[in-house]
Structure 1
Amino acid sequence: MSEGITSVITPYKVEVVQGNVVTREMLARIHPGSSRTDVRDALGSPLLADPFHADRWDYVFTIKRQGTEPQKRSVVIWFDGDSVKSIDAPELPSEDEFVASITRQRAEPLPERKLMLTDEERAALPVPKAPEPTEAQPQGAKRSYPPLENP
């Protein structure tokens, strides 16, 4: 049985990115006792700040990207008044690990591209021929134009 065109063409899937990326380096900037302003400066605005639970900020991140594994992480910051009481977070990736995890892997590496010729390769190129003179060489404009200034 022939495979047909559907085996060659894959449908486009929309990349879905939601929430705040929180990395290990970002989370290291806050600790119990940090203010809400410090948390907002380090992590950005929370995805969920519920007025009925004013002591809790949720930073949720999800990404679904074709060619990579889907990711979902949730960081919860608990407050006591204006200062951080505790932090509930999974093992977070470093910034480099996060970038590597969302980078699509190629099946085959790209071939190395040569940008310049060596002196030996340049010398081996054929020398272009000089153009042969022709009898009908252009001799400037054939029309005469009036002068631009009045005499």
Structure 2
Amino acid sequence: MHVKARRCVSVLVTLSLGGLLTACGSFNSATRSLANSITPYKVDVVQGNFVSQEQVAALQPGMSRQQVREVLGTPLVTSVFHTDRWDYVFTLKRAGLEPQTRKLAVFFTGEQFDRAEGDEMPSEADFVASLGKKMDKIKVPPLEATEAQLARYPVKKSAEAEPAPEVPVAPVAQSYPPLDAPAR
């Protein structure tokens, strides 16, 4: 009986595998288009330091390295071989959009800021506006109510019209227990 049960299980497994293989080959174009329309969620990837147009405008020749760091933040790249150059790189990758990359190189003469070169930076307002989700698909209904609809909800009286009830106040303690533990 044990051998017979084992043979039944092996036949059942073989038939199941055969059924699965034939099911894999029976995808038609409608099933494939459905499978292609389902896409995984892709995370927005933000790397580096965002530097705005306003921050670049705040840089003045002769500023110290610390002052530049306070305005722009810590540089993404500093090189041992180019100690007079800091590089700020910002990359934003979003699903369905081209990646945004902005680069700025800051040059020093000794310990003093000399100049900045790189891409044209967006203003903070422009950058924030570019991050906004497209809300074109969402239709907001008009928020209007007729007088009949408003009459169904009576206006509550304000708290100022009614005097507040008197609440008894506990007397303030005149002496407090000592903070130190009693001596032994």
Could you say whether these structures have the same fold, taking a TM-score greater than 0.5 normalized by the shorter chain as the test? yes
**Among candidates 2, 7, 13, match of residue 42 of structure 2:** 13
Gaps of 5+ in 1: 126-151
Higher helix share: 2
Deviations, residues 37-91 of structure 1 (Å, cap 9, x unaligned): 1110100000011122110000000010125431001100011111112211211
Equivalent runs, 1:17-96 vs 2, <5 Å:
17-96=46-125
Q: Relative contact order (alpha carbons < 8 A, sep ≥ 6): 1 or 2 greater?
A: 1
CA distance in 2, matches of 1:104, 1:70: 16
| Residues 4 and 67 (structure 1), Cα distance of their counterparts in 2 relative to 1, 3 Å cut | closer
Relative to the length of structure 1, the TM-score reads: 0.71
Q: Please say if 1:4 is aligned against 2:62.
A: no
CA distance in 2, matches of 1:111, 1:41: 43
Bigger Rg over Cα: 2
Q: Name which of structure 1's ranges 37-46 and 9-18 shifts more when overlaid on structure 2.
A: 9-18
Offset, 1:97: 0.7
1:23 CA drift (Å): 0.6
Aligned residues: 123
* Residues 1:99 and 2:128 are matched in the alignment: yes
Tell me, in whole angstroms, the C-alpha distance in 1 between the residues paired with 2:133 and 2:96.
Answer: 6
- Pairwise CA RMSD of aligned residues? 2.2
CA distance in 2, matches of 1:99, 1:81: 35
Give aligned-pair identity as a percent. Answer: 44
Q: 1:118 deviation in Å?
A: 4.4
**Which amino acid is 1:6 matched to?**
N
Which residues in structure 2 correspond to 1:111-126 (within 5 Å)? 111-112=140-141, 114=143, 117-123=145-151
| TM-score under structure 2 length normalisation | 0.59
